A and B are shown apart, each in its own frame.
Chain A
Amino acid sequence: MSTGPRIVEVRKNVLKHNDEVARGLRQRFEQAGVFVVSLVSSPGSGKTAFLEKTLTLLKQAGHRPAALVGDLATNNDAARLARSQAPVKQITTGTLCHLEAAMIQNAIEEWNLKDLDFLFLENVGNLVCPSSYDLGEALRLVLLSVTEGEDKPLKYPTIFNSADLAIVTKIDLAEAVEFDRNAARTNIDSVRPGMPILELSSKTGAGMEAWMNLLATRSKQ
């Protein structure tokens, strides 16, 4: 009997394990009434400062936010965020350049989700790898600082295309670095048409009110 090579169709998502964990997380978050927001950006774009400000404002408004912070090696970010008085946990990824759903699952094990209403997932500073991994979030933010240049969205279209909201940070420095707002907006809209864009400064607080309003609206949807 001849037995030449044969092709067996599989058609399975390569990241199906991650997707299954993410789906389970999303369900748990929804049931517990926690609105989950993930953040991706290059290193140094101001994710931690933005998150510190966000956690502080949410606490002041009587909400119960928490954060998980992915970092390759240090726990400096978690220490900074802890100043907001919100529960914060560091996920040290070692050599891994992105967060995966199972890491989120492990990290929240000791937390009672019913005690929270917002959870922020700060991904490792990286504009390539995190785009493939679903973390069970309801909203994915991509941050771009004015010091990085307007063409970042064109260089990393995939991650911008996977996001729900773009945040332009360090807007207080826009003039000093001759940041072209319109070009940045055009580029973001070119890679992800219709994505809302917010400009803000975690330092001066400019634009934070619009962000808080958007967060309130989205979390009620």
Chain B
Amino acid sequence: MHELSIALSILDVAEEEMQNHVGARVDAIHVRLGPLSGVVKEALVSAYELAREETPLFANARLVFEDVPIVVFCSKCQAERPVHSTQLFHCAECDTPATDVRRGRELELAALELEE
């Protein structure tokens, strides 16, 4: 359960950004999350609920997820492709084993929804 650490990190980055928007109210925090980030979404939601109680600035901010799919560069197709699954890390088109991960590791604060 490292999701509490992650939730606190999200609030840290958001707080840093809010220095550019003093006085605004935060309605939502958008997080881009890839399947290879190592973060369990459900656990992060619960951890975030706890973490935001400590920070008045974000007391009403929802957590909104933007799911990022896994994308690899397939050496055979010579193109970006999805994989079958994290259990079968092969190109979904031609079944070539995939090693060059282009997307899917994201754990990113994408945006803030503000009310000014």
Write the residues of chain A forming the contact surface with B, with a CB cutoff of 8 angstroms.
Answer: 3-18, 96-98, 100, 128-133, 154, 157-159, 161-162, 189-194
Question: Complex formed: what's the CA distance from A114 to B97 in Å?
Answer: 40
Instruction: Report whether over half of chain B's contact residues are helix, strand or loop; otherwise say mixed.
Output: mixed
| Structural contact, A162 and B36, CB atoms closer than 8 A | yes
Question: Complex formed: what's the CA distance from A189 to B98 in Å?
Answer: 10
| Structural contact, A9 and B111, CB atoms closer than 8 A | yes
Determine which of B2, B13, B98, B115 lies in contact with A128 in the assembled complex, contact meaning CB atoms within 8 Å.
B2
Q: What number of B residues sit within 8 Å (CB to CB) of A?
A: 39
A2 to chain B, nearest CB (A): 11
A-B contacts, 22 of them at CB < 8 A, read A3-B115, A5-B115, A8-B17, A10-B14, A11-B108, A11-B110, A12-B13, A12-B108, A14-B10, A15-B107, A96-B2, A97-B1, A98-B5, A129-B1, A131-B38, A132-B39, A157-B89, A158-B36, A158-B86, A159-B38, A190-B90, A193-B89
Determine which of B38, B88, B113 lies in contact with A132 in the assembled complex, contact meaning CB atoms within 8 Å.
B38
| Structural contact, A13 and B107, CB atoms closer than 8 A | yes
| Structural contact, A5 and B2, CB atoms closer than 8 A | no
> Lowest 4 A-B CB distances belong to which pairs?
A193-B97, A129-B2, A131-B38, A157-B86
Q: Which of A9, A17, A100, A193 has most chain B Cβ within 10 Å?
A: A193
Interface flags, B96-116, vs A, CB<8A=1, else 0: 011101000001111111111
Residues of A with C-beta under 8 A to B99: 193-194
Nearest chain A residue, comparing its CB with the CB of B85: A157
